[in-house]
Amino acid sequence: MSDLPGDLLYTKDHEWLRREDDGSVTIGITDHAQSSLGDLVYVELPEVDQDIDEGGEMAVVESVKAASDVYAPIGGSIAAINEDLADDPEKINSDPYGDGWIVRIQPSDSIDEGALMSPDDYQQFIDDLDD
Amino acid sequence: MGSKTPLFDKHNEAGARIVDFGGWDMPLHYGSQKDEHHFVRQNAGMFDVSHMTIVDLSGERVRAFLQYLVANDVAKLKDPGKALYTAMLNADGGVIDDLIIYYMTDRFYRLIVNAATREKDLAWIRENAASFDVGVVERGELGMIAVQGPNARALAVSSIDSDYRDAAMAMKPFFGMQAGDMFIARTGYTGEDGFEICMPAADAAEVWDQLLAAGISPCGLGARDTLRLEAAMNLYGTDMDENISPLEAGLNWTIAWEPADRDFIGRTALQALRNSPDRQRFVGLLLEDRGVLRNHQKVVVDGVGEGEITSGGFSPTIGKSIALARVPAGDYDRATVEVRGKLLNVRIVKTPFVRNGKIRIDIAGETQ
């Protein structure tokens, strides 16, 4: 059983979001997601300043097994990307909520938190998937 | 729920992630596919391959039957225990399955064929065996464990009956022997040394525990696939199938053209293709750009044509992506592969990519 960080919001696509003080939002994939994907070997990242729509393809994470798209949970412009992932994609496996962050988005609109899950709700969501 | 091997409970004990493979519930990995890959290249790993199909053939005319059934010539097998890798073909020269044949005695040969092709293989063998009066017996009661890696044989030998240990260690590559209730072969699907050990299903869990205690790490189908890809060993259903001849799957070396009067199934079709200048090449690719090559991606050869990746993935040993691909005829050593709308640069390299723990390709490459 993984402990979900309490200060994050979660999506049904197994992404997490953290609101930063400057109004930007840091995004990564959850421990459940990295565990399902297996050892990551390559991450394709967007360009900084690129505009992205909610639900648009934001990154691709490739494990030894397969390639998976990561969709933008919110719309906005890419404020930063985790360039360390180019040489060390396994950071997503080893530290999904920390050094394994993927992008930071400057949201174009206010965030609809109703569409996101609290840690408890997300825990329930993945427990139900495992049944 | 699929079929379960005698080691299914052992996989769960070891924390395996179980997936369906050709109707079998098999371990994909036990935590990290990449770590398991490295265990095999650097030390010793073991795979449950009990889902593989073992078929014993017997009778006065069993050799004549096999000379008709497969593309290689079992007459090459002179020493008892010697093994041969080859393919069974249909009349069009397409591959029904690839297999290993062990010559046990003049009246007894053992075949090991794939799991996912079990039913059609057995039907095909039985259909063709009838006129040779050859007995066909599937040995479904046997389990099988592959131990692979530079230290695999030395670590595994203690699980063999002490009367047979010296003989097992002295056995040359690509031979098999009966050792009490066990059948042991110095074969594998990883590009490393090792044994494939068959035993009665009831003994499989005990042997697994002994191998585990000896320091051999359990490895899943995930690592098995990256290991065999690095070793450039074909996977049936992926690199070849009934519509692909061995000539277009890099298996020329498994066809015995001599003696010219040996009539094997598919020979006429193969002979025509052998002389065709348009015959596709089967090559190894090394990705020079960042990314990962995957099955079915399109290979584009500028000014020549297009081909397809049959097996692609990330090579843990090399740290880059590699692939096997079927590409158009022609003399060229560079191509591109379409990955999510972009063309990435690949170089055609001589396979295997990795063998016996060592990288065999020139990674830097000479630019021309």
Q: Which domain holds residue A111?
A: 9-130
Nearest CB among B33, B290, B321 relative to A38 is that of: B33
Contact A11, A64 (CB under 8 A): no
Which of B292, B295, B311 to substitute to test the interface with A, most A CBs within 10 Å?
A: B292
Q: To the nearest whole angstrom, how far is the Cα of A80 from the nearest Cα of chain B?
A: 20
**Quick check: A38 and B222 CB within 8 A?**
yes
**DSSP character at residue B139:** -
Residue A79 resides in a domain: yes
For residue A13, tell me if it sits in a domain.
yes
- Residue B273: what pLDDT? 95
Whether the ipTM is more than 0.90: the answer is: no
**Residues in CB range of B358: below 8 A, 6 or more apart:** none
CATH of domain B1-278: 3.30.1360.120
User: What average pLDDT does the segment B60-66 reach?
Assistant: 98
Residue A49 tokens read as 């300043």
The third-level CATH classification (topology) of the domain covering B280-368 is: Elongation Factor Tu (Ef-tu); domain 3 (2.40.30)
CB contact under 8 A, B32 and A38: yes
Q: What is the mean pLDDT of residues B361-365?
A: 86
Q: What number of CA atoms fall less than 13 Å from residue A9's CA on the CB side? A: 16
Please write the tens of the pLDDT for every residue from A93-122.
Answer: 999 999 999 999 999 988 888 889 999 999
**Count of domains forming chain A:** 1
- Check CB contact of B290 with chain A, cutoff 8 Å: yes
User: Closest residue of A to B321, CA-based?
Assistant: A41
Name the residue among B98, B95, B110 with its Cα closest to residue B54. B110
Q: What are phi and psi of B262, to 5 degrees?
A: -75, 120
Q: Which residue of A has its CA nearest to B290?
A: A42
Which residue from B minimizes the CA distance to A35?
Answer: B31
pLDDT interval class at B364 (50, 70, 90): confident
pLDDT surpasses 90 at B269: yes
Look at residue A102 and tell me if it is in a domain: yes
Mean pLDDT of B34-49: 98
CATH code at position A33: 2.40.50.100
pLDDT-derived band of residue B333, with 50, 70 and 90 as boundaries? very high
Chain B residues with CB under 8 Å of A40 CB are none
Q: How far is residue B87's CA from residue B67's CA, in Å, rounded to a whole number?
A: 12
Decide: A62 and A90 in contact? Cβ < 8 Å. Answer: no
Residue A4 lies in a domain: no
Segments in chain A below pLDDT 50: 1
In a domain, residue A2? The reply is: no
Residue A29, domain member (yes or no): yes
Q: How many CB pairs under 8 A join A and B?
A: 36
Sequence spans of domains, chain B = 1-278, 280-368
B75 touches chain A (CB under 8 A): no
- Using the Cβ of B226 and the Cβ atoms of chain A, whether some distance falls under 8 Å is answered with yes
Is the pLDDT reported for residue B366 higher than 60?
A: no
| CB proximity B29 to A under 8 Å | yes
Whole-model pTM over 0.90: yes
Q: A1 in a domain, yes or no?
A: no
Whether the predicted pLDDT of B368 surpasses 60? no
The per-residue pLDDT for A2 is 59
Q: Which pLDDT value is given to residue B27?
A: 98
